[in-house]
A and B are shown apart, each in its own frame.
Chain A
Amino acid sequence: MPIDQPALDVIALSRSEYELIVEKLGREPNEVELGMFGALWSEHCGYKNSRPLLRLLPAEGPYVLTRRGEENAGAVDIGGGICVVMKIESHNHPSAIEPYQGAATGVGGIVRDIFAMGARPIALLDSLRFGPLAPGTHIPVAHGPSHEPARGGGPEPRPEVYAHNRYLFEGVVAGIGGYGNCLGIPTVGGEVVFEHAYSANPLVNAMCVGVAPADKLISAKAEGPGNTLMLAGADTGRDGIHGASGLASRTDPHARFEELRPAVQVGNPFLEKMLLEACLDLAHNHRDWITGIQDFGAAGLTSAAVESAARAGTGIVIDVAQIPRREEGMTPYEVMLSESQERMLIIVRKGHEPDVAALFERWEVPCAVIGHVTDDGTVRILDGDREVAALPVDILSEAPQYTREGEPAPELYDLQSLDLASLPDSASPGVGALLAAPGAGVGASLAAPGAGGQGAANEILLRLLASPNICSKRWVHRQYDQSVLSNTVEQAGSDAAVLRIKGTPYGIALTTDGNGRYCHVDPYRGGAIAVAEAARNVVCAGARPVAVTDCLNFGNPERPDVYFQMEAVIHGIADACNALGTPVISGNVSLYNETGGRAVYPTPVIGMLGLLDDVTQRCGMAFANDGDEVFLLGSLLEQPVASLAASEYLKEVHGLIGGRLEIDLALEARVQRAALAAIHQGIATACHDCSDGGLAVALAEMCLAGGRGLDAATAVLGARVDAALFGEAQSRIIVAVPPDRRQALAGIAQGMDLPFAYAGRVTPEPRLRLGPIDVSLDDMRDAYEGGLERALTS
């Protein structure tokens, strides 16, 4: 069968890949077979461009129970016979096309990965990136490594761009809530970030965490020739055909919007809830009836069947005529490639088929026998009596791998060589205010009306607190059920969510972190910082960081500058994970996040799991007692101007992006150990990571959370007041201690050879006084709490 280019385009395989298939098979594949190759050799399923790089990431650790990539998700033993299962996954492309359903089915997919392992999902986190909701934030510089100058930047976008960003944002949030709330799984955390680089390409990364008795974990292997394959869950329709190859594996899905419409799936969270309960009943109470469970993800039955057979080294036979259909007249090709949601493949021990069928019947979930496991290493697809495909499992499951030559974009040098020292210190009373007026355009620094001297630092702080990236995300979180299942001890809005593990004294802390702007100016350090900050966040909750799940979002890897970013980010993550002892136990890569040659910022999202041996020993960020003394661990208060690199302050106030990032991973590890010691020894009464917006924003958040003030008017801020207040130097943790424990804290810091500094004292008077800053809690609360709603309604 001669193959033409349009046919290859449909499944997104290259001519050379087609030739490789013919060579390996020793014949031409038929249509069904070619479709299966297209799915499994897609970037989304086959990791063609990323697998060699992913091997750099440490995967082993003392608690790790799974081998990365071998199961639906990663598992760690937390002691007491309990394991935690977790994974993060992207649903960027579907969400760009239909935000509600795209985000909803993203949640559905990641939840299935967790309960397919036999674990009960207990928490969801969502890491979201959109374009800005309203003008007023400046358009600082290049969006991704395209060809724009490091300074100056592009024109103000048309109003429709903001309207579309709001549509995407509101739709995604509603979709996450719509699905997760219906399932009864709390959404306990995550992030929302707004940057122009994500305007056409939103990022929707969903993380799910589950718990299981360690001896009840289920594998995703099609083991035991003669065993039966059963499909449980939804009927199969035409939805989502070519989702993996079409949406997630090439550039510009939006240009092909009309064509890709059938790829949008509509989720059924109710059916998923029943499927969840049924699978857990099976896993926990009838383990001996089954050998494995495999989720139907991207590429549907094709990937579920082939991957489970590949892991077990077996073969399989599937009769598509046995698969319940939602629509008339579906071809075997369509059945094999459908991405209908809420379906599970159950590998049933021979003889237990009636038991399994009765169990699903009790949970009111349809199920059907669709095939069996063989020992010949071949996947055979039948349509009744007719064989429509027969392919060796190993050829199908081993997509070609590409190692490319990365090369930094020339703009990267411009970004990094931004001369920060020449910028005026807008926060210094001596210099006076140089605030860019909202909407004034890029790089414009205008004197704020009436500002100057003392008032400038106040105004900068309020402006940062109100900026959509820093302000309270309560508008988002209150649309999610955060407390169902009665485990949530610390909800979204803290450094990390904390959940108890019922029946044990343990707790887990969860967070997601990843700063695309950092990675844009310095992909290696940006990758390392993502890990460091995620670990620091769980440390501030009182938890020991133990494992990572990562979602890596990039543009088109065939471009050398994007490949360079990938390589550097992954190296950074690997080095930080090694330094902090947190293996990467699961993850996902999303490529081709670009439109019209403009890629998203390189955006690694790090999902971090931390453990608390005693959940009552957790720590929060709220100032708890008047009179407590507040210290900065890891650094002095004063900071070099270099710490303004890629900061919110630089973007919001000066309208710039650039500079060089710094991170010392050995220092980071010591700071984290010191903070944990302070918490576990009962010295710390509040603890908070210093990150976006710097010291001033972090202290403001601690004041707001506790409803108390801080007197740090005499704090020593050094020559660059803006850098001390708003710089984003890494490896800094704020700790509050009662006055009689300051020596104990000093002892911990000195014992670990850590710099530390006294900042001030918690006061009942509701004001933050910090160097030139003197603002009331009410003003800060108004800015912080209302920031997102103002952006949405402006």
Chain B
Amino acid sequence: MAPLRFAVVVFPGTWSDHDCQYSLAAVAGQDARLVWHRETDLSAYDCVVLPGGFSYGDYLRTGAIARFSPVMEAVVRHAEAGKPVIGICNGFQVLCEAHLLPGALLRNESLQYRCQWVHLRVENTATPFTNLCEPGQVLRIPISHGEGRYFADAQTLDALEAQGRVAFRYCAPDGTVTPAANPNGSERNIAGIVNEIGNVLGMMPHPERACEPLMGGEDGLLLWRSAVEWAQVRA
């Protein structure tokens, strides 16, 4: 099968673009292109990646300015067509600001930036990015953010839980979800969620940084491989 075509969107201030492209192309063997935020057509791509960084310097609110970039209309069309979209870190923040995902990401409870490895329990294995994971599998992946505390009102949280839309939770190495394993004070230890039909995933941790043993781990590669598997099943 031909490699999957990934659009890695670059907003002004994005910095995980090269990491996403490298892990998708050089490590996972897929076709990954950097797409400048002024692009308005993403129809040539199978999958859209909104990478991490500080789009527009995180000024005003994280993701608040980037969501008005020209490319976002194409991202919305891509999502509405049921094709996979993943927002990582700042990309998650952009997806929330653009109302493609519910809730918001607030300043870490510690009020400090946090860069560290965390453990994630996979809560939903039916998404394009987690279908190769085992239910309850624990992934080891780094975070790097100052504003990653997931917040939504209780009603929204209950709905997310009821619909199985929590994709990842911060957990201890053995998979138990504990307050101590929560690095930023996220509601219910939520690290990633999907939209109603499950094709749009937002997550704070950086899977693209955990794709090679030399970088300290390769659990992140499971997400890219899942996306490929998902496309193959549907081809």
Q: Do chains A and B touch in the complex (CB under 8 A)?
A: yes
| A interface with B by C-beta (< 8 Å) | 174, 177-178, 181-184, 268-271, 273-274, 363-364, 477-486, 488-489, 500, 502, 615-616
Interface presence of B214 (CB below 8 A): yes
Interface of A is mostly: mixed
A181 shortest CB reach to chain B, Å: 6
What A residues does B214 contact at CB under 8 A? Answer: 489, 500, 615-616
Segment with Cβ contacts to A, from B18-26, B171-179, B187-195 = B18-26
What B residues does A488 contact at CB under 8 A? Answer: 215
**Taking A484-B144, A488-B215 as contacts, is the C-beta distance between A269 and B57 under 8 angstroms?**
yes
Residue contact A482 to B115, C-beta cutoff 8 Å? yes
A480 shortest CB reach to chain B, Å: 6
Residue contact A484 to B16, C-beta cutoff 8 Å? yes
New contact pairs (4) apart from A181-B144, A273-B13, A478-B112, CB-CB < 8 Å? A177-B113, A273-B57, A274-B13, A477-B115
Residue contact A182 to B144, C-beta cutoff 8 Å? no
Residue contact B54 to A181, C-beta cutoff 8 Å? yes
Interface presence of B107 (CB below 8 A): no
Residue contact A183 to B59, C-beta cutoff 8 Å? no
Residue contact A480 to B113, C-beta cutoff 8 Å? yes
Interface presence of B169 (CB below 8 A): no
What A residues does B216 contact at CB under 8 A? Answer: 483
- Chain B residue with minimal CB distance to A177? B113
B79 shortest CB reach to chain A, Å: 26
B115 shortest CB reach to chain A, Å: 5
A315 shortest CB reach to chain B, Å: 37
| Per-residue interface assignment for chain B, residues 199 to 211, with 1 indicating a CB less than 8 Å from any chain A CB and 0 otherwise | 0000000101101
Residue contact A184 to B15, C-beta cutoff 8 Å? yes
A144 shortest CB reach to chain B, Å: 33
**In the bound complex, how far is the Cα of B208 from the Cα of A485, in angstroms?**
10
A490 shortest CB reach to chain B, Å: 10
- Chain B residue with minimal CB distance to A507? B214
**Taking A184-B53, A485-B18, A486-B19 as contacts, is the C-beta distance between A270 and B12 under 8 angstroms?**
yes
Residue contact A270 to B215, C-beta cutoff 8 Å? no
Residue contact A270 to B142, C-beta cutoff 8 Å? no
Residue contact B215 to A181, C-beta cutoff 8 Å? no
Closest 4 pairs between A and B when the two form their complex, measured CB to CB: A184-B15, A270-B57, A182-B54, A481-B144
Residue contact B215 to A489, C-beta cutoff 8 Å? yes
Residue contact A182 to B114, C-beta cutoff 8 Å? no
Pull 7 A–B residue pairs with CB atoms less than 8 Å apart, ordered by A.
A269-B57, A479-B114, A480-B113, A482-B115, A483-B215, A486-B209, A502-B26
A107 shortest CB reach to chain B, Å: 14
**Taking A479-B114, A485-B19 as contacts, is the C-beta distance between A269 and B54 under 8 angstroms?**
yes
B15 shortest CB reach to chain A, Å: 3
| Per-residue interface assignment for chain B, residues 17 to 57, with 1 indicating a CB less than 8 Å from any chain A CB and 0 otherwise | 01100110010000000000000000000000000111011
What A residues does B142 contact at CB under 8 A? Answer: 483
Q: In the complex, which of the residues A174, A182, A183, A486 has the most CB atoms of chain B within 10 Å of its own CB atom?
A: A486
**In the bound complex, how far is the Cα of B57 from the Cα of A707, in angstroms?**
40
What A residues does B23 contact at CB under 8 A? Answer: 486
**In the bound complex, how far is the Cα of B65 from the Cα of A270, in angstroms?**
13
**Taking A364-B12, A484-B19, A502-B22 as contacts, is the C-beta distance between A181 and B146 under 8 angstroms?**
yes
B110 shortest CB reach to chain A, Å: 9
Residue contact B209 to A479, C-beta cutoff 8 Å? no
